[in-house]
A = this chain, B = another copy of it.
Amino acid sequence: MGTSKTASFSEKQNELAILFKALSHPARVAIIEYLLTVDTCICGDIVNELPLAQPTVSQHLKELKNAGIIKGNIEGTAICYCLNPETLKKFEEYFFAITKKLKEKCC
């Protein structure tokens, strides 16, 4: 036990769960929201924006990157992280479809 029974669910359901898991920590929500306030994709020092040590922030960034929610490009010494619009659009479309279907059901 302790293991998620991944194989028992559809690929889509697992993919969605991975995306949601990437957002399931306040630090990662904070990273998303910070990247949203930055004007361009060029941005450094996310570490200074968060109340966590540098290795911890790095780990959270890695998780967001693995899930495809952010992208990271090496820009000299700094790394330029930015949001991935395609993935965020997926989220929007998923919930749009759900709320639309819910309206039709009219509980």
Residues of A at the B interface (CB closer than 8 Å) are 4-6, 8-10, 13-14, 16-17, 20-21, 23-30, 32-33, 36, 39-41, 51-52, 82-83, 85, 88-89, 91-92, 95-96, 98-99, 101-103, 105, 107
Q: What's the Cα separation between A25 and B4 when bound, in Å?
A: 8
Q: Choose among B16, B30, B41, B98 the residue that contacts A92 (Cβ–Cβ < 8 A).
A: B98
Quick one: copies of this chain in the complex? 2
B-chain residues with CB within 8 Å of residue A89 when the two chains form the complex: 99
B-chain residues with CB within 8 Å of residue A20 when the two chains form the complex: 20-21, 23-24, 29
Known A52-B5, A96-B92; contact A105-B26, beta-carbon cutoff 8 A: no
Instruction: Name the residue of chain B whose CB is nearest to the CB of A38.
Output: B105
Known A13-B33, A30-B13; contact A51-B102, beta-carbon cutoff 8 A: no
